[in-house]
Structure 1
Amino acid sequence: MKFIFGILSFVTVGLIIGSISQLALLRQLEDSHGIPSLKNDKEADILRLGHVKPEVLSWSPRIILLRNFLSMKECEYLKALGYPHLQNSRVIDDKTGKGVDTKRRTSSGMFLSSKDRKHPMVQAIERRISIYAQVPVENGEPMQILRYEKNQYYEPHLDYFSDTYDLKNNGQRIVTMLMYLSDNIEGGETYFPKGGSGECNCGGKIVKGLSVKPVKGNAVLFWSMGLSGQLDLNSVHKACEVLSGTKWSAVKWMRQRAFHQGNDVRLNAPRYELY
């Protein structure tokens, strides 16, 4: 038995040494043939290549889960930006295009200002969103930071516009990037009733469809328009009730064309607030 154990140990050590040698050889080949390594690659850092793990959750509506989309440092920074400026969340009135209070949405939130958006970390996140969503950076609205406390929620809604004011000025919203900034939350899922025929959890209830649990650093990318360019009614979604903990998130909407904004977004935040 000692002899067999010795042979097995020798073989195991040999395999480990062989694997390390192969990795070293691959690195040498990369260097000698000009194949770029991820080390010291600024673009790779911005996109978090090697960290972000995409998973298609649904093709109709189109929903992609991006694990590790944000670093823990980025999550904390966005929360710190948002906390001092939180106000009651509002929704857009379809007839007037203005923000109104409603019991359908009980969170608090704020939009990043033009000054906030100049910070290198925010710019890196916005570029990352643009690349993964395949929509130019300039088509993005200012990022919104949201906080949901216990018993808070947002009833089922669509992110695209029905009023003519927003369509005339900046075009339709075509894709949403929803990023989770906190952990240890019970409830608070993002629920897509039309996202599948299976069962899932939503605020402690078992329901039909698809839901995504808020996990710090993860993001959900979903489209409000189908491949044909038509608005996708199946993209309806809900922020489920938070049962315990505090749910922080950041949301970025991307438009059909470049987004233009006259005033500081903190002064007229209800104009663009829908999620």
Structure 2
Amino acid sequence: MESRCFLALSLTFLLIFPRLSQASVQIPGDNKLRKKGIFSVAFDPTRVTQLSWRPRAFIYKGFLSPEECDHLIDLAKDKLQKSMVADNDSGESVESEVRTSSGMFLSKHQDEVVADIEARISAWTFLPEENGESIQILHYKHGEKYEPHFDFFHDKANQELGGHRVATVLMYLSDVESGGETVFPNSEEKFTQQKDDTWSECAKKGHAVKPRKGDALLFFSLHPDATTDNYSLHGSCPVIKGEKWSATKWIHVRSFDKRVTRPAKGECVDENENCPKWAKVGECEKNPIYMVGSQESYGYCRKSCKVCSS
């Protein structure tokens, strides 16, 4: 229910962007640093364009200032390690030729610039900062890529902390001379996007976004009802000329700041104080995956939905 509410709020906010022609949201920060160009002055929804509904994807032109992009790269460039992927069965991080970039994670609120960016991401997505992972900085050299994959999890271990990743904000920290596009092979819009010879062959296999320094791509990995979205399959095309720097913020359906302990199998409890209220208004039937659960996992309101065995 909580995840459904967050998703609905996010979708509603995104839908009204085109109507906010004069709106901007000021982000907290040090005014002296702003005057030096370190911080972007404001969050401006008029810079957001819808790219696709399947998956739900949006591009924000100039989300980061050039100074912010350079600052994030400076924080990361001496600390990069080979990128890992999550094993589908164990959830452990393992090396794979599917992903050949290098990267590192910043700390949350590592400095004022990072804190400002995190606050702006929360304002844009309408999702709490505590639901987000730390920002990951990625570097792709010539030929490096990340083959198409999902950001939601296939294993149970990763879902215990924060649940599925519901949204991804991918920030481009550099221009790329050729290649390096973000591609959505399953997107329904892949046949309507016009592409010329400046696009790589990889990018022609789906709806794609070219890396532009300062731009940010937001896409959702779950539907508004919190079910996984197979249209959200995405990848990073190989860099053909130049290099690619990017920053990724993954956002979960629940808080990522503390681990949630699920009840023992067979234990009949409600895991949210609002469960009785939700049950009374019919959410057990309307939202059974969250409230009751499925064959794969228990729901969060089993007691109020009266589905526990006696």
Q: What's the TM-score bracket when you normalise by the shorter of the two chains?
A: 0.7 to 0.9
Q: Which has the higher strand share?
A: 1
Indicate whether 1:133 and 2:130 are aligned.
no
Mark the runs of 5 or more structure 2 residues left unpaired by the alignment.
1-21, 30-38, 260-310
Q: Say if 1:138 and 1:258, in contact at 8 Å, map to a contact too.
A: yes
Deviations 1:29-59 (A, max 9, x none): xxxxxxx9979x5559767245861000001
What is the rounded CA distance, in whole Å, between the counterparts of 2:250 and 2:102 in structure 1? 18
The residue number in structure 2 matching 1:209 is 206
Question: Which secondary structure does the structure 1 equivalent of 2:77 belong to?
Answer: helix
Among 217, 221, 238, which residue is 2:218 paired with? 221
Aligned to 1:58: 52
Contact 1:176 1:224 in 2 (8 A): yes
SS of 2:71's equivalent? helix
Counterpart residue number, 1:241:
238
Partner of 1:155: 147
SS at match of 2:160: helix
Q: Given the alignment of the two structures, is residue 142 of structure 1 paired with residue 139 of structure 2, yes or no?
A: no
8 Å contact from structure 2 (residues 50, 57) kept in 1:
yes
Q: Distance in 2 between matches of 1:215 and 1:81?
A: 20
Q: Is the 8 A contact 1:203 1:242 kept in 2?
A: no
Q: Quickly say closer, same or farther: Cα 1:232–1:38, change in 2 above 3 A.
A: closer
Cα RMSD (Å):
2.5
Between the aligned partners of 2:203 and 2:27, the Cα distance in structure 1 is: 44
How much has 1:254 moved relative to structure 2? 0.5
Distance 1:38 1:174 in 2: 25
Q: Give me the whole-angstrom Cα distance separating, in 2, the residues matched to 1:42 and 1:62.
A: 25
2:101 maps to which residue? 107
Mark the CA change 1:140 to 1:243 in structure 2 (over 3 Å): closer, same or farther.
Answer: same
CA-CA distance at 1:206 after TM superposition: 6.1
Match of 1:168 among 160, 180, 190: 160
Q: Equivalent residue of 1:259, what SS?
A: coil
Give the Cα–Cα distance (whole angstroms) in 2 for the partners of residues 118 and 184 of structure 1: 27
State the distance in 2 between where 1:255 and 1:161 align: 11
The residue aligned with 2:270 is: none
Shift of 1:198: 3.0
Structure 1 residue ranges (4+ consecutive) displaced by more than 4 angstroms after TM superposition: 36-39, 41-47, 199-202
User: C-alpha displacement at 1:193, in angstroms?
Assistant: 1.1
- Which of 159, 182, 186 is equivalent to 1:194? 186
Structure scoring higher RCO (CA < 8 A, sep ≥ 6) equals: 1
Can you give the 5+ residue segments of structure 1 that lack an aligned partner in the other structure? Answer: 1-35, 263-275
| Structure 1 range deviating more: 195-204 or 87-96 | 195-204
1:224 and 1:235 in contact (8 A); partners too: yes
The reply to whether residue 179 of structure 1 matches residue 171 of structure 2 is: yes
| Corresponding residue of 1:270 | none
Aligned amino acid, residue 153 of structure 2: F
Secondary structure, counterpart of 1:150 in structure 2: coil
Do the aligned residues in 1 keep the contact of 2:184 with 2:233 (CA within 8 Å)?
A: yes
Task: Describe how 1:85-100 pairs up with structure 2 within 5 A.
Answer: 85-100=79-94
Rounded Cα–Cα distance in structure 2 between residues aligned with 1:181 and 1:236: 22
Deviation at 1:208, TM superposition (A): 4.0
Q: Distance in 2 between matches of 1:238 and 1:248?
A: 15
Structure 2 match to 1:251: 248
1:84 paired residue number: 78
Change (3 A) 1:165 1:47: farther
Report the identity percentage. Answer: 40
Q: Greater CA deviation, 226-235 or 45-54?
A: 45-54
After TM superposition, the structure 1 stretch with the greater mean CA deviation from structure 2, 195-204 or 89-98, is 195-204
Partner of 1:18: none
Cα distance between partner residues in 2 of 1:257 and 1:47: 29
Q: Which residue of 2 aligns with 1:10?
A: none
- Tell me the secondary structure at the aligned position of residue 231 of structure 1: coil
**How many residues matched?**
224
Contact 2:27 2:119 in 1 (8 A): no
